[in-house]
Amino acid sequence: MMCFHPLSSAIERPAELNNPFDYEPHPLCQLAAQQVRSYVAEQPLLQADAALGKMLGVLVVEQADGRLGYLAAYSGLLAGRNDWPFFVPPVFDAQQPDGHFKQTERQISAINARLKAMTAATPYGPQVQPPPPSTADQLRQQRKELSEELQLWLFRQYRMLNAKGETKDLVEIWHDYHPSEKIRRRFPLPPGGTGDCCAPKLLQYAFAHRLRPVQMAEFWMGASPKGEVRHDGQYYPACRGKCLPVLTFMLGRSFSAYGGAAEGAARLAPRVVYEDEAVLVVEKPAGLLSVPGRTGAASVESMLTEQYGQVMLPHRLDMDTSGLLVVARNAGAYKTLQQQFFARTVEKKYVALLSGIVAGSGSVSLPLRPDPLDRPRQVVDLLRGKPSLTLYRVLQQRDGTTLVELTPKTGRTHQLRLHCAHPDGLATPIVGDNLYGQKAARLCLHAWQLAFDHPATGRRMSFTADPIPF
């Protein structure tokens, strides 16, 4: 098998395949990734295209005789092709020039050319009449029908294998994963590009050739895309929008939504730093949810409700972020605090440990929006993003890292994390940021200071969460 590359190593083999959506790269995967990078570097055409930015993946596998090796893959196309030697083939090859996909693509392109010519500036006059509107409408309808039929046909060609030898096409997998009629009406088909990411291609080849998956990892090579945060050589989880339904079927296991309770979260608890009849101020540890998630895991809200009766949170911290939260003990306090957050009169300051050296002080302003194919990841979008602003001030530089104070002036999801990591921000991810940087023991982001007007007395109250836990 040309795609099976022997891997000689004394590193102990893990007993189970890792979770492709939440993992630290195993040393065997790191060794395989190094070999893949070396191979690409020796191929000028591949190196030039990968330098522009490409996600690659490795799957460490065992043959039936116990021989260890790895498979390699790239997402989508590399240098315009999906059939490069050394890498596993696509699940379905839609790039054949005389195939149905390319033929229909050419029909759609021809319609686009006709529509463009019809709408080009023309000196209409008595001798030259504009084309009737119905002609353009008919062409647009024809293009729409061809596109929809082609997309459905394409997804039916992707017959995915699972570990049991069962097969389903992408449409069946999508509908099984999303049984809700409401979701099916809104999203009748998977996102474009489903099945062409690294993980499905690697597992498809392994199952087809009776190779036992050992460990998997995906890593970025080359420049970061303009809107996303990707760092050369860093490892990333599989995308959720396209890969989660597919890998759920292929691996025969379910994966909890990102941000589910961390292992041991039940043993964590918020520390109460202030309480009265209207509010509580607590310090949340990293790894504990602010409010209950889909799994019903323990959270700040559920724990405090057990202790104090029903409480409500007018704001939240990400599960991985530690620090101060104000909690309302009645509906009136909750409404008043909500109004303060909406009016941005609540003052919040965070401290973060950055994985590099940053100097001085200043601000970061970037338009942000969610990535619908990889939630909860956020991206920078100059056209559709919502404005976000963060002030920063360097507190200390130590051992190649920087402790900074961050003051958010807006409250976008992952604002601080993206403002630190993005090339147009501080270009230095927060230590432990597994989405925009590298995974570590914890995300080093701490809600340090909090100030608000007491909902009953109106008195200004300020709190500081010391000491900083990193």
Q: Which residue type sits at 379?
A: V
Whether the bond into 179 is cis, omega within 30 of 0: no
**Catalytic one among 49, 196, 318, 433?**
318
Angle between helices 240-251 and 170-177 (to 10 degrees): 100
Q: What is the DSSP string of 37-92?
A: HHHHHT-HHHHHHHTT-EEEEEEEEE-TT--EEEEEEESS-BTTBS--TTSPPPSS
Q: Are 170 and 194 in contact (CB under 8 A)?
A: yes
Give the C-alpha distances (Å, rounded to integers) separating 330 from 82, 266, 276. 59, 25, 11
How many Å apart are CA 184 and CA 179, to the nearest integer? 7
Total residue count of the chain as it appears in this document: 470
How many Å apart are CA 325 and CA 308, to the nearest integer? 16
The secondary structure of residue 266, as a DSSP letter, is G
Closest CA to 431 of 408, 401, 404, 405: 401
The secondary structure of residue 3, as a DSSP letter, is T
Beta bridge partner(s), residue 196: none
Beta bridge partner(s), residue 279: 328
Q: How far is CA 441 from the centre of its chain?
A: 19
Residue 215 structure tokens:
């460990």
Q: Per 3-state DSSP, what percentage of the chain is helix, strand, and coil (rounded to 5)?
A: 30, 25, 45
List of residues 6+ apart from 460 with CB closer than 8 A: 451, 452, 453, 454
Residue 98 among the catalytic residues: no
Residues with a catalytic annotation lie at: 318
